[in-house]
């Protein structure tokens, strides 16, 4: 049976890219149809952004209870029975459904975008079949997302091996978890599981968080060391062992074989685009399984677009949504282009978050020579100060981070756990070239900071903004403190005690 309408575009997949793209397309006056089997919003509310937000909030609670327990007026809190599986269960029962309803309501009712619910089959570039009905479209937009990349090693299919997709499905709390892969997913998961009394070890083949600023990396890994999260870099995982379920991970490290006993494994070595449904159309596929697109999200076949993760990195929701928007504009006859400059990045590391945009200090030094750092904390870092004790110079160690923990950090986070903020400035132009933070709540500002970087925002312009003090990222007030200087000096960097954060 052929539907009576011809749509301007069939959006194959209603994830972040397809949902936003179709909504934008409709707003532009087009006739979009989304084809979606499961939920609008894709994996976001099932196992990605929304779920991670919820789960890391739970992990933050647990970590803060541990930190504050018995201090000042806080009662002693017994955390021996806390459960990551229960947190996941709550989200499964309430959060997933609530988000799914919201997406559906917003898309279909509020925005009036049509959705054909069911498993779609692409017949040709103008025809998609759903539940035996044929839908016709002038254009086809593929937005089928990505999946976790799995290493081809023995034991990978054993029960107990998970990816981010299975995380909300946890039914039991593991005691020991090995995380394979120390990218932003793996490092985030490590910080999320550890507060639930799970012993976590991260095994990374190369370097953890290689693209992040050194100070941010140092902060995270120092904090991991203190919390007992072990990290191995340069380690090659060979197999996962177990009789009927995961019992250990075997790896080569410094020429030796090592075995890591565990009852759960989280695989986080990367993402693979789900380009398979589009292959019969003849679209070009890249080495990473991604559909190759131009900067207008067009594939090599006229009338076929690809948006979101299926078109390859950067794997970031804002990029997915924007690819949808750009495809919609181009279908509507514009000539719009993606702009991949100054894309921020973010990791939940409960109880804090790491966020960055622009150049790292090393990249900025290479490009601009000497750069100015506007940073707190700065100066020498005391070795393991105790909570609730005054240290001379402590004011310099304890400034940043508001949000969830607000000023409590200053008193309770003796071990310098209260985050850091760092702006990097080219002193000649007085323009910012990078912003970095470990904080709580600063990610909101980074959405706008990325735009300010793009337009060449200067220290002097920043000094003219209106801060609401206290705030999570401090860039306005810190910049104002130095903006009067004819020759910018900034605040010097943090002096780290030489420490080795990694297992050897």
Q: Which residues bind ligand COM (CB under 6 A)?
A: 16, 19-20, 41, 44-45, 50, 99, 103, 317, 321
Q: How far is the CB of 107 from ligand COM (least distance, A)?
A: 8
- Closest CB to ligand COM among residues 101, 384: 101
Q: How far is the CB of 231 from ligand COM (least distance, A)?
A: 31
- Closest CB to ligand COM among residues 21, 188: 21
- Closest CB to ligand COM among residues 16, 476: 16
Helices (H), 69-213: 84-90, 96-104, 184-193
- Closest CB to ligand COM among residues 106, 241: 106
Tell me 105's DSSP state: I
Q: How far is the CB of 474 from ligand COM (least distance, A)?
A: 29
Task: Check: CB of residue 99 under 8 Å from CB of residue 43.
Answer: no
Polymer length of the chain:
504
**Nearest to residue 352, comparing CAs of 178, 192, 186, 164?**
192
Rg (CA), the chain: 24
- Closest CB to ligand COM among residues 16, 405: 16
Count CA atoms closer than 13 A to 355's CA, side-chain side. Answer: 24
- Closest CB to ligand COM among residues 34, 208: 34
Count CA atoms closer than 13 A to 53's CA, side-chain side. Answer: 10
Q: How far is the CB of 67 from ligand COM (least distance, A)?
A: 30
Q: How far is the CB of 102 from ligand COM (least distance, A)?
A: 8
Strands 256-261 and 372-376: unpaired
Task: Check: CB of residue 167 under 8 Å from CB of residue 88.
Answer: yes
Helices (H), 210-337: 214-227, 317-331
Q: How far is the CB of 306 from ligand COM (least distance, A)?
A: 17
- Closest CB to ligand COM among residues 101, 366: 101
Count CA atoms closer than 13 A to 387's CA, side-chain side. Answer: 14
Q: How far is the CB of 286 from ligand COM (least distance, A)?
A: 24
In this chain, which residue has its C-beta nearest to ligand COM? Answer: 16
* Cα gap 141→131, rounded to integer Å: 19
For residue 352 the two structure tokens come to 């804090």
* Cα gap 398→411, rounded to integer Å: 8
Task: Check: CB of residue 23 under 8 Å from CB of residue 40.
Answer: no
Q: How far is the CB of 308 from ligand COM (least distance, A)?
A: 9
Looking up tokens 């981070």 gives 401
- Closest CB to ligand COM among residues 40, 64: 40
């Amino acid at each position: 049976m052929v539907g009576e309408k011809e749509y301007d575009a069939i959006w194959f997949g209603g994830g972040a890219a397809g949902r936003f793209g179709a909504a934008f397309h409709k707003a532009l006056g087009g006739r979009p149809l989304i084809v979606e089997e499961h939920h609008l919003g894709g994996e976001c509310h099932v196992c990605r952004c929304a779920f991670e937000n919820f789960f890391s909030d739970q992990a933050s609670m647990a970590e803060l209870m541990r930190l504050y327990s018995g201090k000042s007026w806080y009662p002693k809190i017994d955390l021996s029975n806390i459960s990551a599986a229960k947190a996941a269960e709550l989200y499964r029962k309430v959060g997933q459904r609530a988000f799914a309803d919201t997406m559906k309501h917003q898309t279909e009712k509020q925005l009036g975008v049509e959705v054909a619910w069911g498993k779609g089959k692409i017949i040709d570039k103008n025809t998609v079949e759903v539940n035996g009905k044929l839908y016709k479209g002038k254009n086809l937009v593929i937005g089928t997302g990505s999946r976790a990349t799995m290493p081809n090693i023995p034991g990978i299919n054993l029960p107990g091996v998970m990816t981010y997709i299975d995380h909300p499905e946890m039914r039991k709390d593991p005691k020991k978890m090995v995380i394979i892969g120390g990218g932003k997913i793996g490092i985030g998961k490590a910080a999320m599981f550890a507060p639930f009394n799970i012993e976590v070890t991260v095994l990374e083949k190369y370097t953890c968080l290689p693209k992040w600023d050194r100070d941010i990396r140092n902060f995270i890994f120092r904090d991991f060391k203190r919390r007992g999260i072990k990290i191995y870099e340069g380690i090659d995982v060979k197999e996962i062992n177990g009789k009927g379920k995961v019992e250990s991970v075997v790896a080569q490290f410094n020429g030796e074989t090592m075995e890591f006993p565990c009852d759960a494994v989280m695989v986080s070595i990367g993402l693979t685009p789900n380009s398979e449904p589009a292959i019969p159309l003849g679209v070009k596929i890249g080495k990473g399984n991604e559909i190759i697109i131009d900067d207008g999200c067009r594939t090599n076949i006229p009338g076929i677009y690809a948006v979101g993760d299926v078109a390859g990195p950067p794997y970031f929701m804002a990029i997915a949504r924007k690819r949808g928007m750009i495809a919609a504009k181009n279908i509507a006859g514009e000539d719009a282009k993606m702009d991949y400059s100054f894309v921020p990045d973010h990791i939940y590391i409960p109880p804090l978050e790491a966020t960055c945009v622009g150049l790292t200090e090393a990249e900025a030094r290479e490009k601009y020579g000497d750069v100015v750092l506007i940073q707190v904390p700065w100066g020498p870092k005391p070795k393991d100060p105790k909570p609730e004790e005054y240290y001379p110079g402590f004011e310099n160690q304890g400034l940043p981070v508001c949000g969830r923990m607000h000023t409590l950090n200053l008193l309770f986070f003796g071990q310098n756990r209260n985050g850091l903020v760092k702006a990097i400035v080219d002193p000649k132009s007085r323009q910012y070239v990078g912003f970095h933070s470990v904080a709580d709540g600063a990610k909101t500002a980074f959405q706008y900071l990325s735009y300010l970087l793009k337009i060449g925002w200067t220290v002097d312009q920043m000094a003219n903004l209106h801060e609401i003090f206290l705030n999570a990222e401090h860039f306005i007030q810190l910049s104002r403190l130095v903006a009067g200087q004819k020759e910018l000096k900034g605040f010097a960097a943090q002096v780290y005690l030489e420490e080795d954060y990694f297992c050897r």
